[in-house]
Amino acid sequence: MTHEQFQDAKVLITGATGFTGRILTKKLAAAGAKISAIARPSSKTGELDGLGITWFRGDIADSALISQAASGVEYIFHLATAFRAGEATEEDCRHVHLYPAQLMAKAVQGRPEFKRFLYTSTVGVHGHIPGEQPADEQYRFSPSDVYQRTKLETEQWLTASDLPCSVIRPVAIFGPSEERMLKMFRLVSKGLILMLGKGKGRFQLIHVDDLTEIILLAAVAEQTQGEVLIAANTEPLSIIEMGQTIANALNRRALVVRLPIWPFYLAADFCEAVCAPFGLRPPLYRRRVAFYDKDRQFCTAKLHRLLNYRFRHSNESTLTEAAQWYQQQNWL
């Protein structure tokens, strides 16, 4: 897609150096957008160098910095996310999710040139989805940690404001260079599929290419104004099915090993308690263990109804591409 609507459009991006942000920023640059981006002084721009981006370096919740960065912008893409490991506090997460959203909203409020605020939240706001019936955007909320709670807090603040906005709740995001699930790929490459607990661990995937296309479409579509959309491939899969797909991509035979989950929760609680006073990243934390313990199956009817989006990547092609990329990088 060419995204000609963004030709010469002034856009502001947070999280541009992140996994999803890099892909989105490249697509906006290719479309001819005039891009401003807020980033920490320590953030590495790497592959975004040479794209003509105006960088604003500093604290993402600095009101003066945001006021300067948001001057004259037509679109805001708020993708920045707080570090998701166990050491992040509720205030840490608000500082990255909620406060910048409020400051950016204030900076563009009432400006006639401003068109849309696009916020990326998470399906984690819904928590565990029991049973076989997939959940939609109206399903009850049950965030289980500070990351999810502040994501929900931010999207609710935005949708209750007078600002023209759209919210995307993505499922697990995959694609080349994504590292959060690298440990699972490495384990499968050694012939093991680990499953904790007695559940299925059902969830859905989305390729970062599909997600960024949906974000760009939702930012300009009239029918998505003020709406929340779950972004996910239609078909769910279990952790074991995911492991088997990875094994096939790597031409490996993998044995499924089931272990009780409660010792891992205890170990995670211990790691978080020990590391938190020192500001250290725990080697194991509850959120990571909970990945095995929760089912998250979602209805994507609203996404298809409002955007009529046709996915480019299936679950199998997404996992296969990731596995092959890891191999090429000698990470497996």
- Residue 180 confidence (pLDDT): 83
| SS3 state at 332 | coil
Place of tokens 């790929």: 185
Nearest to 97 by CA among 125, 68, 137, 56: 125
Q: How far apart are CA 285 and CA 86, in angstroms?
A: 6
Nearest to 162 by CA among 76, 225, 75: 225
- Residue 67 confidence (pLDDT): 96
Whether the CB-CB separation of 55 and 92 falls below 8 Å is answered with no
- DSSP classification of residue 237: B
Looking at residue 80, its amino acid is: A
Q: Which residues contact 271 (CB under 8 A, 6 or more apart)?
A: 86, 282, 283, 284, 285
DSSP string, 175-224: -TT--TTHHHHHHHHTTEEEEESSS---B-EEEHHHHHHHHHHHHH-GGG
Q: Which class would CATH give 4-177+206-233+298-312?
A: alpha beta
Name the stretches of the chain with pLDDT < 70.
Answer: 1-2, 83-87
Q: How far apart are CA 71 and CA 68, in angstroms?
A: 5
Nearest to 262 by CA among 293, 239, 295: 293
